[in-house]
Structure 1
Amino acid sequence: MKILLIGGTGTISTAISEKLIEEKHELYLLNRGNNNINLPKGFHSICADINDEAAVAQKISGMKFDCVADFIAFVPSQLERDYRLFNGKTNQFIFISSASAYQKPLSNFIINEGTPLANPYWEYSRNKIACEEYLMKMYREQGFPVTIVRPSHTYCEKSVPLGVHGKKGSYQIIKRMLDGKPVIIHGDGTSLWTMTHSRDFAKAFIGLIGNIHAIGESVQITSDETLSWNQIYKSIANALAVDFKPYYVPSDFLAKAGDFDFEGSLIGDKANSVVFDNSKLKRLVPEFQATIRFDTGVKECINYILSHKECQQEDVDFDKWCDKVINSLETALSLVKESGY
C-alpha cells in the first residue's frame, strides 16, 4: 500500500514507520527531516513543514495515497488544513486522538469507544475532542474516509513512562532512584493504569490501515495488561536494581503545587483508574495481541537510556521541586504530631 505519515519519527510513530518499511509498503514521511536518519532505509521523504500548507500542497501535487495518518495534529485548525490537503487524495485518513479525551471523572472504570468524551481538566484533551468532532462531521457530510485512533499511555525505548515528572522528561526520576532518593507517586499508588509498548501499538495500527471496517470508526489501542502505579514504579526500580522508595502525594496537592500542568495530566488523566476494553479493536484486527509485558519493556527502556547520553537530560529544577514537596509534607506531619490533640 502507498502510505503517508505526517510525522513518523515520534514515540508512537517510529515503530509504525519501521514496521511498514519491514513489510515493504510504499511509505512516505512528511516532516522536516530532523529524525529520519534514525529509521532504516526504504521510505520516501517529503521534506516540509506541515504547517506550510502551500508548500505541502505543491509537494504532494498529483499524488494519491491508500492511507494518510497525522501524528502531530492537536487542534481543529490543523485538521481543517489536512482536509483541504488530502480530501480526494486518500482512501483513508487516520487521526491520532487520545484516550485522555474520555469522560473525567469516570462513571465506569472500564473504558470502551462508547465511553463519553468530556475532560474539563485538560485543554489538550478538549482540543482532541474538538478535532474528532470536526473529522466526524466531514465524514458524515462529505464522505471524508476517517478513522480515529485513541492511544493511552504508549512508550518506546527512549523514555520511561511515569505519572509524575518534570518538563525535561523521565531521566531525573531514574537519577533519583539511582541516587537512593524517594520518588513522588500520585495518590497512594493503587490506582490502575495501562502501559502500551510502541511496537505492540504498531501491530494494531497497521491492522487498521486499509481496513474498510475501520472507516468512520473510533478505535482505542492499548495493551490488555492492567497495572497499579506501585507496580509500574516497582518495575522501574527492579530494572535499575535499586530499592523502591515511593513517597505518596495526593494528586490534587500536586496539581496545585507546581507549574507542571498536573491538573491536566493527573486529575484529567493518570489519577483515574482505567481498564481498557479492546473488544472492538480485536474484532477489526483479529490477529492483534499485545505481547510486551511492562516489566520486560521497561528493562529495554532503562538499558537504552543508560547507554545513550542524549537520553540523560537532567532536570535540576524538578529535582529541587520534588525535595521541596517531600520536605514540606514531612514538616507538616511533624507539626501535626507535635501539636497532639
Structure 2
Amino acid sequence: MKVLIIGGTGFIGPFVVQQLVEQGHAVAVFNRGRSDTKLPDGVQVIRGDRQELPKFVGQFKQFAPDVVLDMIPFFEKDALAVVNTFQGIARRTVMISSGDVYQAFARIHGKDQSPVDPGMITESSPLRSQLFLYRGSRTGEFFDNYDKIPCEKAYLSKPNLLPGTVLRLPVVYGPRDNQHRFRSYIDQMVEGVPAIRMQKEWGNFQWTHGYVENIAHAIVRAVTDERAANRIYNVGDVETRPFKDWVRDVGTQFGWQGEILLVDQEELPDSERTNANLEQHMICDTSAIRRELGYEEIVPYEEGLRRTIEWERTTDESDLTDIT
C-alpha cells in the first residue's frame, strides 16, 4: 500500500511512519520541512505548504497514494482542500481528530450548561453545539479558527467518491510529547519531595489517555484496513484512571515513595488551580476500533510509562515547548 502523510514529523507522526515502513508499505510525507526528525530510509519527502496543495498535484499523482493520512487537520478550509485535491488521486483518507468535538468537552470548559453525563462517550455521543471553542479566550489566528468538527464533516462529505475515516484521539503521552504532561510531577519526584499536592477535583478527574506508540498503531490499523472507510472511531486505553492514579503509577515506575495529597483549590497557588467543571469526565468507549479493526495495544501500560519517564529525564529543560 502507498500512504501519503500530511505532517508526519511531529509528536505522533514519526511513530506512524516507522510502523508503516516496518510493515512494508510505501510512505511519502508532505510538510514544510521545519522539523529535524529523521525519517526511515526509503520514505519519500515532498516539501510544501498545505495552503498550496494544488501546486503539488503532479507530485501527488506520481506517488499515487492509496490512502492520504492527515495528521494536522486544524481548520475547515485545510480539510476541504485535501478532499478536493485528492479526489480522483487517492482511494481513501484518514484524519486525526480529537475528543474535544464532544459536548462533554464543552461542559468541562463551561461552554455548555447542560447536566453532567456520567456515561461513557461513544462515537455517537452528542457533539458540541458551539464551534470555535477557543475563539475570544486565547489570542492568535490558530485559536480563532481551530475546530475539528468542520474538519470531520469535510472528510466525511464524499462517502462514495473519497471515503474518509475519522479517528478521535484521547490525551496522548510519551516520547516527543511537546506538552510534557507528566514533567512537573517527574521533576518533583527527582527532587525527592515527600508529597505531591494537587487540587482534589483534578486528582479525581478521569480522561481517557493513550501511549503514543499505541495510538500510532491504531492509526496504522485504520490506514491499512479498508473496513475503516466512512467510519468514526474513538482511540485510547481500555481503562480510564483518575489523574491521581496516573501520577501514582508514574511514581511507582520511577521508584518514588512519596504520597499524593488531594487538597482544596484555595490551598494551591493560582498556577496550579483550575475552575473547569471536572465533574464531567471524558471516559471514551474504544470498543468499536477493537471490535471492527482488531486493534489492541502493542506496548503495555507500565512499559509506556517507563519509556515516557526515561524520555522526560533525558530531555533538556530548554527543549520544552508549548503546543501550537
TM-score range, shorter chain: 0.7 to 0.9
> 1:71 & 1:306 partners in 2: Cα distance?
27
**Contact 1:28–1:45 (CA under 8 A) maintained in structure 2:** yes
Question: AA paired with 1:130?
Answer: P
- Select which of 232, 239, 259 maps to 1:218: 232
The AA in structure 2 aligned to 1:139 is K
Q: What is the TM-score with the length of structure 1 in the denominator? A: 0.75
**AA partner of residue 110 (structure 1):** M
Of residues 21-30 and 37-46 in structure 1, the stretch that sits farther from structure 2 once superposed is 37-46
Structure 2 vs 1, CA of residues 159 and 174 (structure 1 numbering), >3 Å: closer, same or farther? farther
- Report the Cα offset of residue 217 of structure 1: 1.3
2:206 corresponds in structure 1 to 192
Structure 2 counterpart SS, 1:209: helix
Counterparts in 2 of 1:310-329, with a 5 A limit?
313=320
The aligned counterpart of 1:150 is 168
Alpha-carbon separation, structure 2, partners of 1:271 and 1:28: 43
For the residues of structure 1 that align with 2:318 and 2:250, how far apart are their CA atoms?
A: 16
Q: Aligned in 2, Cα 1:219/1:34: closer, same or farther, shift over 3 Å? A: same
8 Å Cα contact 2:60/2:89 also seen in 1 = no
Whether the 8 Å CA contact 1:177–1:183 is kept in 2: the answer is no
Q: Could you say which residue in structure 1 is the equivalent of 2:302?
A: 295
What is residue 158 of structure 2 aligned with on the other side? 139
Q: In 2 relative to 1, CA 259–119 (structure 1 residues): closer, same or farther, beyond 3 Å? A: farther
SS in 1 for 2:239: coil
- Kindly indicate whether residue 130 of structure 2 is the aligned counterpart of residue 116 of structure 1: no
Following superposition, the deviation at residue 75 of structure 1 comes to 1.3
Normalised TM-score (structure 2): 0.79
Give the conservation status (yes or no) of the 8 Å contact 1:219–1:280: yes
Partner of 1:127 in structure 2? Answer: 147
Q: How much does 1:10 deviate?
A: 2.2
Query: 2-side partners of 1:62 and 1:186: how far apart?
Result: 56
- The DSSP-based 3-state class of the residue aligned with 1:149 is strand
Distance 1:57 1:250 in 2: 54
- Kindly indicate whether the alpha-carbon contact (under 8 Å) linking 1:171 and 1:314 is maintained by their aligned counterparts in 2: no
**Closer, same or farther in 2 for the Cα pair 1:312/1:65, shift >3 Å?**
closer
Structure-2 residue corresponding to 1:29:
29
Give 1 or 2 for the bigger CA radius of gyration. Answer: 1
Q: Structure 2: which 5+ runs fail to align? A: 108-115, 135-142
Please give the alpha-carbon distance, in whole angstroms, between the structure 2 residues aligned to 1:275 and 1:118: 16
Find the counterpart in structure 2 of residue 9 from structure 1.
9
How far apart, CA to CA, are the structure 2 residues paired with 1:37 and 1:312? 14
Give, in angstroms, the shift of residue 8 of structure 1. Answer: 1.0
CA distance in 2, matches of 1:114, 1:157: 31
Check the 8 A contact 1:98/1:128 in 2, yes or no: yes
Shift in Å at residue 203 of structure 1? 2.3
Q: 1:18 to 1:246 in 2, by over 3 A?
A: farther
Q: Which of 285, 289, 307 in structure 2 is aligned with 1:281?
A: 289
**Equivalent residues of 1:176, 1:183 under 8 A apart:** no
1:203 aligns with 2:217: yes
SS state at 2:158 partner: helix
For residues 180 and 301 of structure 2, the distance between their equivalents in structure 1, rounded to whole angstroms, comes to: 22
Partner of 2:246: 232
CA RMSD of aligned residues (A): 3.3
C-alpha contact 2:203 2:262 (8 A) present in aligned 1: no
Query: Matches of 1:122 and 1:178 in 2, distance apart?
Result: 37
What percentage of residue pairs aligned between the two structures are identical? 20
Q: Distance in 1 between matches of 2:320 and 2:49?
A: 27
- 1:69 counterpart = 2:79: no
Deviations 1:263-285 (A, max 9, x none): 7xx54xx7632333222212321
Distance verdict in 2 for CA 1:249–1:205, change over 3 Å = farther
Q: Given the alignment, which residue of 188, 195, 208 partners 1:176? A: 188
| 3-state DSSP of counterpart to 1:4 | strand
Identify the range of structure 1 (70-79 vs 150-159) with the bigger mean alpha-carbon deviation.
Answer: 150-159
